Amino acid sequence: MDYNQIQEAMQELDEEVLLELVEKAVAAGGVQEALKACQDGMEVVGKRFEEGEYFVGDLIFAGEIMVEAMDIMKPALGGAGEAKYGKMILCTVKNDLHDIGKNIVKAMLEAGGFEVMDLGIDVAPETIVNTARDNGIKIVALSGVLTLALDSMAATVKAFKDAGMDDVKVIVGGCPVTEDACKAMGADEWAYSPQKTVSVCQGWAK
């Protein structure tokens, strides 16, 4: 099977072809290769968005297709039953209502071996801190698309410090997040892609 076709279908936003190819790949036992091809296709989508070739609507559609593809792959990835890295928190921060990016990251974290506590959208810092404390969680991923989200992320990082929970690792991601923004708010790491989120969190969990 030619896995480049999966990448191509993903980057061209060809939903029907992509899902058909992913099903074939799973049936043929090539789920890891299919996942990699989907991720590579998503990276191209991201680049095209940055270069102005794709627009926000394309990005959202790509996210929806990726979630559909992940749903097909998840049983074969053994993501659901194998939370070998334990629990972590994922949410969109206060004053931000976007969840497409968060949902893609969630699907990929689950496939990567995490049990993800998804707190949803517009989540206040104290809710995140209390949930982490109550569940003994040491890894938190914060998502946001609006510039406003940066303030909420900073407030969340501060809330963990104020609560004396310095051992909790916080990764931030989404459109407005940069390395400088991450440093300014005191987060431990930032991610420009779902793949980076997964690899950073796995590194922390080991």
The strands making up 87-92's β-sheet, listed across from edge to edge, are: 115-118, 87-92, 139-143, 169-173, 189-191
The domain spans of the chain are: 4-77, 87-205
Class of 87-205 in CATH: alpha beta
4-77 and 87-205 share one fold: no
Q: Which of 180, 187, 174 is nearest to 148 (CA)?
A: 174
The 10 Å Cβ neighbour count of residue 181 is 17
Match domain 4-77 to its CATH number in 3.40.50.300, 1.10.1300.10, 1.10.357.10, 1.10.1240.10: 1.10.1240.10
Residue 78: predicted pLDDT: 62
User: One-letter amino acid identity for 188?
Assistant: D
Q: What is the pLDDT of residue 81?
A: 47
How many other CB atoms are there within 10 angstroms of residue 192's CB atom?
Answer: 15
Per-residue pLDDT 10s for the chain (206 aa) are 899 999 999 999 999 999 999 999 999 999 889 988 998 898 888 788 878 999 878 888 888 898 899 889 988 876 444 568 999 999 999 999 888 789 888 888 887 789 999 999 999 999 999 999 999 999 999 999 889 999 999 999 999 999 999 999 999 999 889 999 999 999 999 998 787 898 899 999 98
Could you write out the DSSP letters of every residue in 15-66?
HHHHHHHHHHHHHTT-HHHHHHHHHHHHHHHHHHHHTTSS-HHHHHHHHHHH
Q: Which two tokens stand for residue 194?
A: 């779902």
Residue 104 pLDDT: 82
